[in-house]
Each structure stands twice: as C-alpha cells, then as structure tokens.
Copies of this chain bind each other. A is one copy, B any other.
Amino acid sequence: MDRHRIETLLNEVREGRTPVDEALDRLRDLPFEDLGFAKIDHHRALRTGMPEVIFGAGKTAAQVATIFARMAQAGGNVLATRATREMFDAVQALELINQAPRAEFHEAARAITLTQASAVSGKGTIAVVCAGTSDLPVAEEAVVAARLMGNTVELIADVGVAGIHRLLAQKHGLQSARVLIVCAGMEGALPTVVGGLVNAPVIAVPTSVGYGASFGGVAALLGMLNTCSPNVSVVNIDNGFGAACIASLINHL
C-alpha cells in the first residue's frame, strides 16, 4: 500500500498536479520514523570504504526505495541486492520526485546501484568465474558489487569442470587476476580446480543451483570447504555480495 502512495504521488508530480516540494512533504508522512524499521549507519559505510547496502529480500518495494533515497543523500555509492524490478520502479519513483533519476537496475544480478563515486581504486583485476547459465545471477551480483566498490572486474563464465578444456582456455585471464571469486553449484568443484591453476586468493561461492542431492547448495558448500587447494576460502550459499566485499578489500591492500 505504501508502494501505491508513492506511485500515486509520482503520477501527480508527472502530471504537474503536485509540485515537488509538496510531494516531499507528503512523503515525510509515510510511517517511517528514523526510517522506523531500520537505522542507517552511514559511518560504517564510510569507515569500511564499502557502498551503503540494502539486503532487499523480505523488504517491501517502498521500504527499499525509502532506505535507498536516504542512503543516496549521504553522497556515496548505494547498492540494493536481491532486488526486484518492482523495487527498482519504486526507487526510480522517489528519484523522479527529487528530479534525479540515476539509479540502475541489473536484472541478471538482481541488484539496484547508484554510482556517485566511480573512480577505480582497486590495484588489480578481480576475476569472477562461474560454470553455467544457472550460476550467473550469483556471479553477476559479485560483478556489480565489486565494480561499485571501485574494482576492475572480469567475468569468465561457462567454464565448468566437466569440460576442462574450456577452463584451461581461460588460463591467462585467471592467472592475471589479483584475486578471484569462483561461483559454482551442483558438485562445487570449480574453485578447487581454479585454485590449483592460480597463485592468488580464491573466494568460493556455492550456489543453490542443482536438484536432488544438491540440497539447495549444501553439496557445493561442502565440496568447497573440503577443497584440496590451500588458497580457497568460502562464503555462504549464493552470497555473491559477500565475496565481492572480501575480494575488494584484498584488491585494495
């Protein structure tokens, strides 16, 4: 319903019936005290050099849009993960009220970004590697997040371990990365094989891709934890964003 109020407001602004200032005042009436459902810690973002981040899952479009707008005012980059197109529409609606529509939607990555600082600050390249079509949403989330954190990112997709020649063909790209993020579902063996090919830290991301005994990514997770490549560490299932944070921290060292 809040969503509805925002869109109504937007239509009025578009049609000239409501001036922007009045719209902002009316927006202030939405039931968010101190955003109510969330306290934003701008200092953390500044402190850690990461963008402000919203975890979209389980939030309404209106909640995401409101948090996004407040975060945008802090002047840094903003990222909403696990976001839907409906959330992006709400974000754009609020931006329109402020007459500054600049957020972007990354459909594959399920992410909304606002880039207010775009300089590349990372020292080398982060390679994001994945096997199949199904792992792409997680890999793209890592790509989008890592770029927003000021890194040069290269995506190397469709290189599963069952067709090892396709992976070996990418050997140069893999070995020239300063740090790698490797996403895989099913048996989760890709990070181990990649880890054996490079001499850089590998962040492994198990994905929930698979069926039957994949148990929603548990098989891949266990495979990665039991890796015999000593340069591989692991994050939670489908956590492309977390992998990007760690890779970016390393790439800025």
Contact = CB atoms under 8 A, between A and B. Distances in A.
A3 to B, nearest CB: 16
Given A187-B226, A200-B249, A233 B231 contact: no
Copies of this polypeptide in the complex: 8
Contacts of A158: 38-39
A49 interface: yes
A249 B231 contact: yes
Interface of A: 37-39, 41, 44, 47-50, 53, 57-59, 123, 131-134, 136, 158, 160-164, 166, 168, 178-179, 186-189, 192-193, 195-197, 199-201, 203, 206, 208-239, 241-243, 245-246, 249-250, 253
Contacts of A163: 41, 44, 196
A48 to B, nearest CB: 5
A226 B233 contact: no
A57 B229 contact: no
Contact of A212 (B59, B166, B237): B237
Given A161-B189, A249-B199, A222 B223 contact: yes
